[in-house]
Structures are given as structure tokens and as C-alpha cells.
Amino acid sequence: MLRRWSAAVAAGLLAAVAMTACGGDGGDGAGGGTDDGKITLGFSQVGAESGWRTANTKSIQDSAKQAGIDLKFSDAQQKQENQIKAIRSFIQQKVDIIAFSPVVESGWDTVLKEAKDAGIPVILTDRAVDSTDTTLYKTFIGSDFVEEGKKAGDWLVNQYTTTTDPVNIVELQGTTGSAPANDRKKGFGDVIATDPKFKIIASQTGEFTRAKGKEVMEAFLKANPDIDVLYAHNDDMGLGAIEAIEGAGKKPGTDIKIITVDAVHDGMQALADGKINFIVECSPLLGPQLMDLVQKVHAGETVEPRVITKETTFTQEQAKAVLPERQY
């Protein structure tokens, strides 16, 4: 009799401990996909569209492993509907925390509300959402894309201080509606608007991929014989465009100056080789900081609502110097 009673107390105690272990889930005990004491993180990735994304995925997977976090990883193949499905499935599986990199900025309120109602905290990584209700997520870690666009514009303005001739620019935009495409366009546009000689003569999406960057650049070259500068929202589109420029018998980096964003290995190599002229860095190594935030949010600690990644820029000379030590 006594033995049965103590067994029941022990079971009760264990249940209480298990509940505390899932703390930070809104207090209703809904969180916790597994009962092995590990934090379960559901992560919905944008896709595998670029070198940046590949490095970002690796950083997240490696650092989850290192932090002892149980990662449920899902690839949305650049489609918002797939991300919404993944988030709903994470909610159903009662993960402890959901993190995701929103492919586009708009249209997240409903699913974020569902996560909130289920008591599962959400962390945004890399890209922002335009939801006005900021209680729908705990924090947003990633780069300042407007700033990146400004850095690209500043470099260009400094290259053309001694001329008043028109500077014809073509722009390869990232995924339509995505935060980096919107913001990199804006930051760059704001800076070059200070001098009317800078003209964006064509601007179209290259969907952040090499193949599309090449295809759109080929069309730009056919329609515009006088291109001075290409501004590509990422290295991959710039690398695709280099193939198009060479195919048209022109010299990338000389006949057409090229500015890109990211600073992934292949981009840095092209910069060192003189085919790109300037790269604004955007770090994909968000994993360690993300896992740190996951642990804090899970422990119920308050975290900064916005964590901005530290970044720099590279000229051709700087690329040659740092290339051997780049991690991605």
C-alpha cells in the first residue's frame, strides 16, 4: 500500500518536472515534441536558392547539433504556402519553439496567431515580416538590408565623383516581395537618387538564383547597348549575369561594373578575379546566435526584439586578402 502511494507521488513529481522542462511555452504545457528533455525547434527554411542559403542551412543544422537542440528542418522551396504548411505541422507536433525565415514579407498574421494561440513562441531569422502586431513573434535576428543597399549605393557614388555623364544602371532584384529585395532596392535607390546622373534603366527579379540572373541579364543586354553598372541583390545572380556578359563578348568588371551582396565564396572569388567590383557582406552564419535565442526564449528570459548581424564590405584587394580564411 505504502509502496503504491510513493510510486504515485513519484509519478506526479516526474510529471511536474516534465512540465517545468517545457517552460516558455506559454504556460499551458503545449510545447515539447519529445520528452527527452531536449528543446525541440521547428525550423522552416526558405529553400536552397543560393550559396548564402546553403551556408545558412549548414550553420543552423550544425549549431543545433552543438547546442543539443532537437531540430525539425523543413525546406519550403521558395514557396510561402509550403512555409505555412510547415509551421502548421510544427504546431500540430507541439514543438517547443518555431523559427523561420519568411520567404516574403506579407501574409503571415493568421499562421503566426495560430502559433501564439498554441503557446509556441516564434523567432524570425534572416528576413522580416510586415505584421503590425509585434507580439506575434519574440525576436527577429538578421541583417539590416536597407543598410546593405546604402553601402552598395555609397560605393557607386564614390566611383563616379569626377564625371557628370549619365551612369546607366541595371538592377537584378531578389525574390519579389521578400524583405532583402524590397530593402536592398530601397537603400540603394535612396543613395543614388541624390544625383540625377545615376539612372536605373532596367530592373527585374532574378529570384536570387544564378540561372535566372543569367537569363534576365541576357535580356537586359539585348535591350540596352549602353549598360555601365549592374547592381545584383545577391552574388549568385551576379555570377549568372557574368556568364551572360561574357557570352555577349563584354568584360565583366571592366566594361560593366558589378556590385553584389552576400560575399559567399564564389562571389568573393569573382571579386578577387576582377569580374565583380564590390561586394556588400551579408552573413549567413546565424545558427549560433539563433540557438542562443532559442534557449533563452525557452527558459522564459526576455530577449532583444531585434538582433542585427554585424557586416562589412569588400573591394577586389580586400577579397584577395581574406579569401583563404572565409568560412563560406
Q: Tell me which residues touch ligand GYE (CB under 6 A).
A: 49-50, 52-53, 126-127, 180, 208, 234, 236, 261-262, 282
Taking the C-alpha atoms of residue 85 and residue 92, their distance in angstroms, rounded to an integer, is: 11
Report in angstroms how near the CB of residue 28 gets to ligand GYE at its nearest: 33
Residue number with CB closer to ligand GYE (30 or 285): 285
Smaller CB separation from ligand GYE, 26 or 177: 177
Residue 152 or 261 having the CB closest to ligand GYE: 261
The secondary structure of residue 204, as a DSSP letter, is E
Cβ(148)–Cβ(167) under 8 Å?
Answer: no
Instruction: Quote the cell numbers at residue 160.
Output: 563616379
SS3 at position 264: coil
Cell of 257: 561594373
User: What minimum distance in Å lies between the beta carbon of 228 and ligand GYE?
Assistant: 24
Cβ proximity to ligand GYE, 168 vs 234, nearer residue: 234
**Cβ at position 239, least distance to ligand GYE in Å:** 11
Closest CB 50 distance from ligand GYE, rounded Å:
4
Backbone angles phi, psi at 73, to 5 degrees: -105, 135
C-alpha atoms less than 13 angstroms from C-alpha of 141 in its C-beta half-sphere: 23
Minimum CB separation of residue 234 from ligand GYE in Å reads: 3
- Residue 104: strand, helix, or coil: coil
Tell me the residue type at 104.
V
Q: CA-CA distances (angstroms) from residue 192 to 167, 213, 214?
A: 10, 22, 25
Least CB distance to ligand GYE at residue 49 (A): 5
CB 56 within 8 A of CB 85: no
Rounded to a whole number of angstroms, the distance between the first and last alpha carbons of the chain is: 64
Report the alpha-carbon distance of residue 156 to residue 71 in Å, rounded: 42
Spatial distance between the Cα atoms of 180 and 172, rounded to a whole number of angstroms? 12
d(CA 284, CA 280): 13
Residue 85 beta carbon to ligand GYE: minimum distance, rounded to whole angstroms: 20
Rounded Cα distance between 92 and 89, Å, is: 5
Q: Where are the alpha helices (DSSP H) in 26-101?
A: 51-67, 80-92
Polymer length in residues for the chain:
328
CB of 240 to ligand GYE, least distance (A): 12
